[in-house]
Homo-oligomer: A and B are copies of this chain.
Amino acid sequence: MVASQIESLSLTQVAQQTRRAASQLAVLSTEDRNQALNAIADALTQATPEILEANQKDLDAAEQDGISPALYARLKLGESKLQSAITGVKDVAKLADPVGTVQINRELDQGLILQRVTCPLGVLGIIFEARPEALIQITSLAIKSGNGVILKGGKEAINSCQALVKVIHQALSNTKVNPDAVQLLTTREEIKQLLALDRYVDLIIPRGSNSFVRYVQDNTRIPVLGHADGICHLYIDKSANQTQAVEITVDAKTHYPAACNAIETLLVHQDIAATALPSIAKALIAEGVELRGDTATREIIEAQPATEEDWNTEYSDLILAIKIVDSVENAIAHINTYGSKHTDAIVTQDNTVAKMFQNQVDAAGVYHNCSTRFADGFRYGFGAEVGISTQQMPPRGPVGLEGLVTYKYKVTGDGHIAATYTGSNPKAFTHRNLNQ
């Protein structure tokens, strides 16, 4: 369905339509889904002039509204960004199929076989920022994983999103994927309605500001994949290699301060603080980082005073809070109190301390002697990332395509009934694992 048609349907009807199309998509072969992805890539290449023209409309409107240069840069698609997004679609086509993996293959009794097989979730609801190429990436991940998708992009990108979805629908109409599997919402009011559709939508992935993600988490019964905060810590143990301590701190703080895997708080063991902190501070200041420290820190280096609020803050900026601790236990306690279970790291040459830290810090990622910035689906080798989850239950941490599938148990027998295996003379199960 083209975007203009959606307006005449209620969101419930749109979701039902998506669900029907998703049911068909779910049972297509790997080849059919990959073919659809390649058709989208080709259509986007051919339609490049129209897409860039629609993007220019968004840019003109944004300029009139006076949006910030950073948002403008995100909104601007341009030929090279579009080209690399198209390459991304082809790359997703080449990834291993997350659907149809046999996770358990077990004989329960002669002729009674249990298989646990991965299958699509159903319909995804994805709300993303005003970055047109995100729509391309999300759509390709949804189709690859056999899911329908209801998209809502940032309002500044409305013309770009509509142009992209039009091209995607045209491309899909020549493939086995029903174009209804990809839907675009265009108004902010629809987000609230979308969050209420727990009968038709199986997973919500919100991208954007922390407050927005929290709003989504608090306003839906649909499972949410995402994280509100990324309060990551680096702990410099008394047995740290000081060169590594400086390099890892600088990388984790300054390499991309707006990323969720950048650190916000540095914890330093008191026995190494006097020697390590000055060189760390010097390197950070050279990169333009503002330092805030507790009393003990400020006795060693110059820094603004840090308050309780600092330990709870994701700056997403060139600011770092520093605290001196008297033990690895207290470093762990601080992290488990103030952290957001995203990614925390230790620098130490003492493997016993490192092991303790990695076992006891409760976070999706716990690192030793490397930067927190490695917390990323591509860097982990997942090929594509659908988001980073800080919830306790799996999927946790950077989530690849596996976060977009679930599984079902298929049992096949030949008239087997449960009564055979109970009562006074029960038959025993064999529970024999078969080759997968």
Contact = CB atoms under 8 A, between A and B. Distances in A.
Interface residues of A, number: 72
Contacts of A412: 354, 358, 367-370
Interface stretch (A77-85, A127-135, A313-321, A416-424): A416-424
Interface string A399-425: 000000011111111111111011000
Contact of A121 (B358, B359, B393): B393
Nearest to A376: B418
A375 B408 CA distance: 12
A248 B373 CA distance: 56
Interface in A348-395: 354, 356, 358-360, 362-371, 373-375, 379-381, 391-394
A247 interface: yes
B410 A366 contact: yes
A255 interface: yes
Q: Which of A243, A362, A411 has the most CB of B within 10 A?
A: A411
A122 interface: yes
Interface string A6-34: 00000000000000000100110000000
A411 B374 CA distance: 8
A417 B255 contact: yes
Contacts of A306: none
A48 interface: no
Interface stretch (A58-66, A106-114, A149-157, A161-169): A106-114
Contact of A411 (B360, B370, B413, B422): B370
Interface string A225-255: 0000000000000000101100110111001
Nearest to A363: B408
Contacts of A417: 247-248, 250-252, 255, 370-371, 373
Contacts of A121: 392-393
A429 interface: yes
Contacts of A218: 221
Contacts of A421: 379
Nearest to A391: B223
A202 interface: yes
A382 to B, nearest CB: 9
Given A373-B417, A429-B381, A410 B368 contact: yes
Interface string A95-125: 0000000000010100010100001011000
Given A223-B393, A416-B369, A364 B429 contact: no
Given A202-B392, A366-B410, A23 B397 contact: no
Given A27-B359, A121-B393, A397-B408, A416 B374 contact: yes
- The 3 A-B pairs at the shortest CB distance, nearest first, are namely A370-B413, A373-B418, A251-B417
Interface of A: 23, 26-27, 106, 108, 112, 114, 119, 121-122, 202-203, 217-218, 221, 223, 241, 243-244, 247-248, 250-252, 255, 336, 354, 356, 358-360, 362-371, 373-375, 379-381, 391-394, 396-398, 406-419, 421-422, 429, 431
Given A122-B392, A379-B421, 12 more contacts: A122-B362, A218-B221, A223-B392, A223-B393, A247-B415, A255-B418, A358-B412, A365-B409, A366-B409, A370-B413, A371-B417, A394-B407
